[in-house]
Structure 1
């Protein structure tokens, strides 16, 4: 068990934080499911993800928490307006806790490596050879 964080990492497992309510999330989950490795899909629209987990995801991606959020999403604009807003990291975490569907891109975890997937096919480029056990088509 990883003593550093609350998100478990395992080289034999792929974890994907995604929103099943958008097409990128659906596509990425489908690609990840094609792997021979054990897959843990965390659908943020159905699963409560804590502020600590959001902070850990952002930290391991080396990005600020606000970069996990799609500020162009209609729900975000409706609530906060379309002007650039400046909030503290804990405020961005609270936004994600309350409205996880605002996640901008799915987050893929393979072993200790964290990646944002900007398209369904992005998954392929993060595989080291056949390290994820993808079958040849």
Structure 2
């Protein structure tokens, strides 16, 4: 789904209804910036197919993509929230205790490697240090 927002002057949220067959999937919201898609937010669709997406603050072109996985950077637990569970899941994955649910989002710091630095960066983000 692609759409355009004109500057509202106030933070805006979207409520979108998809077919109920998509219940439980993630709606990943992206904004088109200089020809590239930039992740804004995500939320899981309810049983009725409805989703509430906050974070539409600027005018521009937006795209919503439905997927089984959250595109939230660092969301290794795939629950749509960045929290200590993600840092723990990354550490468990790298030492071989347990495979992460959403490994494509594990490289939180974007250095091309999944390691303890990603878990550390997640914890720093949670407490507001970065």
Instruction: Provide the TM-score with structure 1 as the length reference.
Output: 0.24
Query: Which of the pair is proportionally richer in helix?
Result: 1
Query: Which of the pair is proportionally richer in strand?
Result: 2
Larger Rg: 2
